[in-house]
Amino acid sequence: MQRVDKFLWFARFYKSRTLAAATVSEGRVRVNGTRCEKPSATVKAGDVLTFPAGPRVRVIKVLKGGTRRGPATEAQTLYEDLTPPPEARAEEPLTPAKRERGSGRPTKKERRAIDALQGDD
């Protein structure tokens, strides 16, 4: 058994334990589907955690508690990732923006022509 904020930090989902504790305190972490608001809540092997990590929502199953915040390879042995793969978006090819001639900023050539008409040197 281990504190949820400590586990999230050991498993390298958050850079600091303070960030992990803040996320838990905001109620953004679920343990087995139940909203968790205390960083001191305990997690054990078999629990399923759901929490935001960057732009995605992660779903992980705790395999074992950590004893230290080791390298990433060691951290990956603490959990099983159950996060569904992101949905493939149909990406449309980008087309360059078109503007009507004479709208927007003048080009360098057009500025020189304007300066020549105004008599600016």
pLDDT above 90 (res 50)? yes
Give a yes or no: residue 114 inside a domain. no
Which CATH number characterizes residue 66's domain? 3.10.290.10
Segments forming the whole domain that contains residue 68: 2-81
pLDDT, averaged across the chain = 90
Give the number of domains in the chain: 1
Residue 12: the pLDDT is 95
Give a yes or no: residue 29 inside a domain. yes
Q: CB atoms < 10 A from the CB of 10, how many?
A: 23
Give a yes or no: residue 8 inside a domain. yes
Give a yes or no: residue 105 inside a domain. no
CA-to-CA distance for 19 and 5, rounded, in angstroms? 9
pLDDT interval class at 121 (50, 70, 90): low
Give a yes or no: residue 109 inside a domain. no
- Predicted model pTM: 0.71
